[in-house]
Structures are given as C-alpha cells and as structure tokens.
C-alpha cells in the first residue's frame, strides 16, 4: 500500500502497522534489533515511557543488546521511570559498556567519576571502586572509538585523582588526547596542542603545537557552520 504522508490518517495507519511489525519481530522472531526498535517506537511515537523502559531493560538483560542497556540507563537517569530505575542507571551503563556500547562506556564512566567526586565520598572503598570502574569504562569507550571517552580519559590523567588512586600521568594523557583528536574531539586536539607546546607527556615541538591548535580551530569553525546551517533549515 502506498501512503500519502501529507494525510494524517495515512500517517497514523503507517505508524500502527510499524508497531505491529516491531512487536512480531521482537516477541515472535526474538530479534534483539527489532526489540530495540520497538522500545524506540514506544518512547518516541507513543511516548509510553513505562513500556519503552520495560522493552529496553528486557532486551539488555535477555539478549545483551548494548544499545538497549544504554537507552534504559539514559531514560532512568532522566527520571522517566521509578526511583529504583534511576538508581539502576549506573549498573545498566556498565552492562551496556561491557556489551560493547561506546556511548554507555562514556556516559557511565563520567557518571561514576562524578559520583565518586561528591563531598560525601570521603575516600570510602565503594567510592574508590566507583572511580576505578569509571576510569576503566572511559578507557574501554576510547578503545571503542568514542572521541569523548578519549578526551575525558585524557583530562583525568592530566590532573589525576590521587584520592581515588588514579595518579596524574602525562604520557597516558597524551596518548588518549592524541586518539581523541584523531577521532574528532576539538577539546582533545586543544589539549594535544598545549602538551606539545609545554612538552608534557611528549617531546616539546612548537610546530606540532601550532598544527594541532590550527586543527582545533578549524574543527570549531566547521562545528559553528553546521549549527548555523541547522538553524537556517528550521
């Protein structure tokens, strides 16, 4: 059947059939990718967050589908579910990371480090472990080619977190800034420029410092142009 998407009734019929297809593929054919699409359908089309979270959580637990783990954790963190769901967010980010979601590694890693950094932490073993887990997640996220994970890992190594047994290590900071810049992180390129300029973690090289400074500025300008184009298209 051909749909006229200018007609409201055709759009509604199309979306209803789409939901039926996702349900069949998820529940009858047991396809994790379709289950994730069903979760997105409930979240974005039906705005039924409770059903969406149930689908994402089950798809994570039963099929180890990384994107669903990440989406469940994100929705929980945004307050879409119960208080218990919100408390589960770190656990599901970690699951998603273990199953291969670079985004889950990045968000979960940052969240763990932020939680460990709270004033009430007081160097308790649980907070030290949280910081350790957070750093491991960021490093895994970088290994999975997430530019933001590489940048944040580099930033942590620049300053260190001595209270959580994460010492400053400029060689590692350089390594992850280099990788982050390669993957497209403006901030990582900026840090890389400063490291070459100061000789932190790498031999001082003003030519390379200028190169990466220019690269960061060019990336920043490209980003601004993209934002401007998006605004004009609205």
Q: Give yes or no for residue 10 having a pLDDT over 70.
A: no
**pLDDT per position as a tens digit, 28-71:** 999 999 999 999 999 999 999 999 999 999 999 999 999 999 99
CA 219 to chain centre: 20
Provide the token pair at 25.
């593929």
Section 151-174 average pLDDT: 93
Q: Where are the domains of the chain?
A: 74-144
pLDDT band (50, 70, 90) for residue 3: low
Section 214-230 average pLDDT: 87
Distance in angstroms (rounded) separating the CA atoms of residues 189 and 213: 7
**pLDDT per position as a tens digit, 88-138:** 999 999 999 999 999 999 999 999 998 876 645 455 677 788 888 999 999
Report long-range pairs for 221-228 (Cβ below 8 Å, ≥24 apart). 223/186
Provide the H-helix boundaries in 43-146.
49-63, 66-77, 83-98, 102-116, 125-143
Contacts of 45 (CB under 8 A, 6+ apart): 15, 18, 19
């Amino acid at each position: 059947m051909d749909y006229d998407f200018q007609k409201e009734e055709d759009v509604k019929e199309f979306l209803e059939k789409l939901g039926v297809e996702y349900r069949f593929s998820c529940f009858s054919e047991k396809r994790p990718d379709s289950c994730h699409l069903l979760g997105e359908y409930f979240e974005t089309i039906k705005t039924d967050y409770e059903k969406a979270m149930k689908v994402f959580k089950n798809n994570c637990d039963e099929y180890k589908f990384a994107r669903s783990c990440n989406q469940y954790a994100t929705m929980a963190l945004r307050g879409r579910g119960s208080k218990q769901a919100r408390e589960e967010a770190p656990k599901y980010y970690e699951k998603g990371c273990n199953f291969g979601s670079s985004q889950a590694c990045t968000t979960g890693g940052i969240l763990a480090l932020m939680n460990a950094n709270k004033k009430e932490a007081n160097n308790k073993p649980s907070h030290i472990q949280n910081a350790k887990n957070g750093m491991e997640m960021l490093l895994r996220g970088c290994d999975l080619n997430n530019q933001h994970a590489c940048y944040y890992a580099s930033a942590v190594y620049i300053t260190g977190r001595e209270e959580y047994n994460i010492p400053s290590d400029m060689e590692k900071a350089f390594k992850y800034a280099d990788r982050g810049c390669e993957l497209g992180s403006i901030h990582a390129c900026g840090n890389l420029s400063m490291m070459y300029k100061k000789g932190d973690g790498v031999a001082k090289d003003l030519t390379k410092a200028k190169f990466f400074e220019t690269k960061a500025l060019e990336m920043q300008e490209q980003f601004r142009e993209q934002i401007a184009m998006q605004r004009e298209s609205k």
